[in-house]
Structure 1
């Protein structure tokens, strides 16, 4: 064991990990001695895995002008040729996770397509056909837990997604002698909600949500004191159908009548071979800016942006399923020098409990990335200490802003941090610190990680 490793192990021995395990790898970007602790053991990397996903995108999709990156969402007017039938409209998803229907939307807005259609001569529409066929049917990766699926960050992955596949509802308890529960959806109702098991007693808020994937009803229980108001964000099982519902509402307020149903493009019997639709008009949004997607992933840790981006990586092998994207992400780590036994990737976001990456595999990938021609663009999008993203409030007062560029990670009993730092010597390092299976709170685990990283920066 080298003197550096002995010093690292001695430092780690001073931490009470509450039964947890820690893995550390620190590797210079130029020639030098790599140090580590449990660096070849397999760990759950949590959202630090997004570094590998985005690096894979740069490697396999090329620069931002490459056709592999997401294109703009399209709206097509179709007719069967029967003069007595209303034309249908087809909303075509292109894997643009930035598509929005918010009132403050300025780019990639579903309302833009609604405005364009409303200003045309198509005022009476039959069905809205949602076409999410670029990817397979809406799905969630293996290893996402039940508790993840009911919240916004666990929305199903689809090629047609509005507002990140989320539905927002405001829930409140009125004041007065007989408080009542009131709720309203921000856009369209996503599913029925039951509050029959909720009390409205004064005191502490204690609200529980039962919402299972594939179920069409949510049930709340517990207590919501009078005067309390909550804004809840739910992850949807089928974002594409919800996108069609929002579009129908947008068209209605613009004077466009939609008399038919919202149907999926691959529904049996939708189109028959003897009556294929004819495209009579097409409107499309500009392609989204990949930098917006990458910042959502590397700054804000967006899961759906990560999984959608992984799908585009898979499409580079002409595969509509995510498996090719997972294989290519693993290939990046192996190409960088990791051992096969140290890597197992189950999703693109790090939310799956089946992911395993060793600290050494992560730092090898980071060193490899620093040698690629896209490194400056990619690394500029990684969050910096004291400046942006999930590091905006970490390492604020100790060093100059930007001396650490890293991706955080946090799931149940797991915390992680991986990226780059500039040591006190001025040398550049890649690092990965993973804590798994600990009884520490996330705050306590982050304190351990931050203290250890600061020590590494000062001693190298």
Structure 2
């Protein structure tokens, strides 16, 4: 009797061991409905990294968890958490206007000496913010400027070729970081319908001198099919910049806008400054130049940004690339000092994460946005980070930055079923050859789960139904 029982035990152990070793999604088998969803993707098992675990509890599913993969925009979770934990939710950026020594203005409103503007890389510094800052300068009696010097020394060489990643260098998602970035450096192209003449009237906002729209967008009488698609080409010349716009738009769509990068960040700021200063009744004798603020300069006026807690909501919910990179550079600047670069800031962020016990083996944060072919993380490391976040005092601030399933952000049109809508806080990642989804799911039992899924290679778009099925399954647990 006992001998038979021992033989049965050995057989069970052998069978279980074989199942674990031969399992396609190893560690613990996927539930049947998830196995079918994965098989339907027709993707190779080797392309997938997956971790599912209870918050602060056991791992439920694990596959290729230590393989470094490109997480696409899920990398923003890494950057925003490193920033939030290192700098704190109330951290702000200050953009300051200085004069050389105490303010000295003559009877005509002429400022003695240069006007300095020191940028700090505020990710959300806007055109209205710059207008208000310069209005404050005018309110202090300054009208005539001899020179304006822009100080970008918080950063080192960080400018990028906006066409390098995918050739779409005029698209705002490719914007280059800059310590004095305003409005992401993007121009708004506005198209107004003229029903009487059946044509579109185009103009650019802000109306920087030398900027014009060559509008060849054609009128259509069809029913509006959705947001019009406009093709653009940017033509730069010594006398200005021309945006050539083409395509077809239905008149029934009404007025619409598209955003484009029409010039480099430095040129955009210079043109914007001159436009606003002129609108405010000021004059500028010489051009704007780059330089450093002297030690004896006196702060005249300044603008404090929205808090970091507010800014990471934009970064993660809207998946804003350049804001993420500027946050990474801020980490480097605040931890290492002036002259921050992407490389030095990446090292600073990694040190922050490692100090929390997060395994960053094989990681490459790169520019911090995920808009990179070189970026790498592991599913295991990400799941560790999400566990650390949940135990942190800053968990509520971070959670509020993630997109809510079926409600807002990049998952507002996904996971709208009653059993899952509002029950998951997620970050998506999408590149041509990479898909990722990570975050927290609240199960019907009241348990909270961490999930990280990443797929790299050809045909990765096929993983979306599997990812959605995984979220729904967790919401039902």
Common fold by TM > 0.5 = yes
Q: Which of these residues, 355, 364, 373, is aligned with residue 384 of structure 2?
A: 364
Post-superposition CA distance 1:32-53 (Å, at most 9, x none): 2341233333322111111111
Does residue 1:187 correspond to 2:187, yes or no? no
Post-superposition CA distance 1:379-413 (Å, at most 9, x none): 23322224432233332333365421111122224
Q: Could you list the runs of 5+ residues in structure 1 that have no partner in the other structure?
A: 103-108
Does residue 1:290 correspond to 2:316, yes or no? no
Is the 1:5–1:37 contact (alpha carbons within 8 Å) kept by the matching residues of 2?
Answer: no
Q: Are residues 79 and 259 of structure 1, via their aligned partners in 2, closer, same or farther at CA, if it must alter by over 3 Å? A: farther
2:4 counterpart residue number: none
CA RMSD of aligned residues (A): 3.8
Q: Which of these residues, 94, 112, 116, is aligned with residue 72 of structure 1?
A: 94
After superposition, residues 35-114 of structure 1 pair within 5 angstroms as 35-64=61-90, 69-78=91-100, 87-102=113-128, 109-114=129-134
Aligned counterparts of 1:226 and 1:450: Cα–Cα separation in 2: 34
Is the 1:408–1:418 contact (alpha carbons within 8 Å) kept by the matching residues of 2?
Answer: yes
Q: Which of these residues, 403, 411, 414, is aligned with residue 394 of structure 1?
A: 414
Q: Are residues 17 and 188 of structure 1, via their aligned partners in 2, closer, same or farther at CA, if it must alter by over 3 Å? A: farther
SS of 2:404's partner is: coil
Does residue 1:407 correspond to 2:432, yes or no? no
After superposition, residues 190-269 of structure 1 pair within 5 angstroms as 195=214, 200=218, 208-211=231-234, 220=244, 223-224=247-248, 231-235=257-261, 238-265=264-291
SS of 2:154's partner is: coil
Aligned counterparts of 2:179 and 2:82: Cα–Cα separation in 1: 19
Q: Which of these residues, 31, 41, 44, is aligned with residue 16 of structure 1?
A: 41
Is the 1:158–1:239 contact (alpha carbons within 8 Å) kept by the matching residues of 2?
Answer: yes
Moved more, 46-55 or 311-320: 311-320
Deviation for aligned residue 1:155: 0.9
Aligned counterparts of 1:281 and 1:13: Cα–Cα separation in 2: 59
Q: Could you list the runs of 5+ residues in structure 2 that have no partner in the other structure?
A: 1-19, 21-25, 223-227
Q: How many residues align?
A: 436
Post-superposition CA distance 1:305-326 (Å, at most 9, x none): 1111101111212251121221
Moved more, 407-416 or 164-173: 164-173
Q: Which of these residues, 10, 32, 49, is aligned with residue 58 of structure 2?
A: 32
- State TM-score, norm by structure 2: 0.78
Is the 2:206–2:272 contact (alpha carbons within 8 Å) kept by the matching residues of 1?
Answer: yes
Does residue 1:324 correspond to 2:344, yes or no? yes
Q: Are residues 451 and 213 of structure 1, via their aligned partners in 2, closer, same or farther at CA, if it must alter by over 3 Å? A: farther
Is the 1:79–1:86 contact (alpha carbons within 8 Å) kept by the matching residues of 2?
Answer: no
Structure with bigger gyration radius: 2
Q: Which structure is higher in helix share? A: 2
Q: Are residues 322 and 308 of structure 1, via their aligned partners in 2, closer, same or farther at CA, if it must alter by over 3 Å? A: same
Post-superposition CA distance 1:171-207 (Å, at most 9, x none): 5797789x988642201448767859x6858699875
SS of 1:285's partner is: strand
Aligned counterparts of 1:122 and 1:263: Cα–Cα separation in 2: 19
Aligned counterparts of 1:28 and 1:212: Cα–Cα separation in 2: 54
